[in-house]
Structures are given as structure tokens and as C-alpha cells.
Amino acid sequence: MKILANDGISDLGKSLLEAAGHEVSTNKVAQEALASAINEQGFDAVLVRSATTVRKEVIDACPGLRLIGRGGVGMDNIDVAYAREKGLTVINTPASSSQSVAELVMGQLFSISRFLYDSFKNMSTGDFSTLKKNYAKGVELRGKTIGIIGFGRIGQSLATYALGAGMKVIAIERKARIQPIALKIGGQTIEIPVKVVADLSEVIDQLDYISIHVPKQADGGAVIGATEFQRMKKGVRLVNAARGGVIDEQALLEALNNGTVAAAALDVYENEPNPLKELINHPNIACTPHIGAATLEAQDRIGEELADLIIAFAKEA
């Protein structure tokens, strides 16, 4: 197969594919030229991350395309149902980036609890007296309650870190249950039961921290908006490393400005790659540029998983 990895692929993934006899190009093609490049260069498969979209127009324009791959979890940048209806195979790598996203979230929880996102910017003033006063109201994670909205692979991975830090975990997902979480400590595995509730409103006023891990909603609406902010405990801290739009950004700004939300950390935005200036400049928002899965280890796992799936597809074809 001839494969265009338009948003890149790890060296490991590329080498595995090439060892299996496939040709892999990592030359970036502009979005508007994607269909032409696929047709003119005879690509059988296109692999994307979050930068490139594969919509109906591209699918219709590329009759020779057989497979679309997404390196990561969410596939909202691909018209999946339409592609499958047209006979294309669509794959993704849901297991590969869970740990890296969970670790970024955990780092942000520490950051927004101890003003790490802001203090480094002001150290050059040398005014330790003022700085110590400004950052003297940090809080500890241990003993606090975190609500994890969406309890799939990433949410459950985050739970292991939060439990390890001594936090109480409540998960919110469609099906209420008790979910055992395996916590590995010192060569031993301990199962800890986590309560999963089906209705966020049942627990929202109990939460000191909230981390959201759901896909972009089918109707494009927010999971957390003005109504949810009104029900939150004053001083809550919030992290979104899922998808832009699952939190209403204007409602978030209002909640930050009126003190409902003490601080927020965002890795994703409604208008990527040009997020709202009010968000990235707000003194109580810690921002990262959609790097949840961007670790060396995760890239290797993603590349390897994509390669395995493509090799299996080619053998069955």
C-alpha cells in the first residue's frame, strides 16, 4: 500500500510499515491540496492527527482511497460514518495516548493549585515579598474531590494518578456503576472502587476539581455551560484536555471573573489553532497548545498501533 501520513508518524511506525512492504510518505500536504495529492500520487491510505480533516468532499474526490487512519482517540475531523458507507476502512488508536493525556492533566492539576502557570512569568521582577504574597493561597490535592466527566481509557488512567495523590474520585458517565480501578504501587496491584454516576447535577456541587474527557458532542453543544457553572462549588478548578467546545468558553470566562472557578487549564479550544485571546491571556488560565498525546512514548505507541492495524488490513484485503 502507498500511505500518506499527512500529520506525521513516529519513526517506529514508519519502519514497521516499510518492513512490511508498504510505502510511507510524511511530506505534509496542505488541506486544500489533499484530494489532488491523494489522486495524483496514488495513495491508498491517508493517516491524520488533529491538523488534517478528511471530510465528505475529500472522500468523494478520491475513489482510490481505501483506508483512513487517525493517530489518536477522537475522530471528529473525519466523516467516519460517510467513509464507511462508501466502503472505506476507518481506524484509530484509542489505547495509545491515554497515559500521556492523563499525565498532562495531572500536571495541570498541580499547576493550577500552586500557581505554577503564572509564577514563573513574574520571577524576573525579583520582588519576592510581593510574589510570595500573591502565590501564598495555593491548595493541596490530597483529600480533595475530583469529578472526571467521561470514564473511558483516559478518564480511568487519570483516576489512577488522582487516587495515588490521595484524591477522592467521582466519575460521571451515562451508566451508573461501581468501577474497580487497578492501582499499581510497589509491584503490587490494588483495586479501588470508584463511584460512577449518570447525572453530573447529582455531584457537581461536591467537586473541588473537574476534568473532562468526552468527545465532541453530536449536536455541537457544551457539556459544561452557564447552568453547570452556577451549580459548582465556589473556587472549583477545571481542566479540559478533551475537545474544544465541550466547555462553553464564554461561560468559563464569566465563571473565572466572578470567582466561581479559581483557575482552569486548557489544552484544547473551540477555534484551533487561533484560540480566543481572552482565554490565553487570562491570568487564571493555564494554556497548552493541544499537546495531550504529544509524548515520545505515546507517539511510538500510536505509530506501532497504526502500523499493526494497517498491516492486518492489507493482509485481509
Distance set, CA 34 to CA 28, 52, 66, 72, 310 (Å): 9, 9, 15, 20, 20
270: annotated active-site residue:
no
Calculate the CA dihedral of residues 288, 293, 298, 303 and round it to 10 degrees. -130
264: part of which helix (H) or strand (E)? strand 261-266
18, 85, 140, 272: the catalytic one is 272
Task: For CA atoms 255, 258, 263, 266, give the dihedral sign.
Answer: positive
Cβ neighbours for 139, distance < 8 A, ≥ 6 positions apart: 113, 114
Count the neighbouring beta carbons within 10 Å of the beta carbon of residue 15. Answer: 15
Cβ neighbours for 207, distance < 8 A, ≥ 6 positions apart: 145, 146, 147, 170, 232, 233, 236
282, 290, 301, 304: the catalytic one is 290
How many angstroms separate the CA atoms of 67 and 122, rounded? 49
289: preceding bond cis by omega (within 30 degrees): no
Pairing of strands 188-197, 177-185: antiparallel
- Name which of 309, 297, 302, 295 is nearest 13 in CA terms: 302
22, 70, 213, 243: the catalytic one is 243
213: annotated active-site residue:
no
How many angstroms separate the CA atoms of 101 and 293, rounded? 5
Terminal-residue alpha carbon distance, the chain: 11
Count the neighbouring beta carbons within 10 Å of the beta carbon of residue 176. Answer: 13
Catalytically active residues are: 243, 272, 290
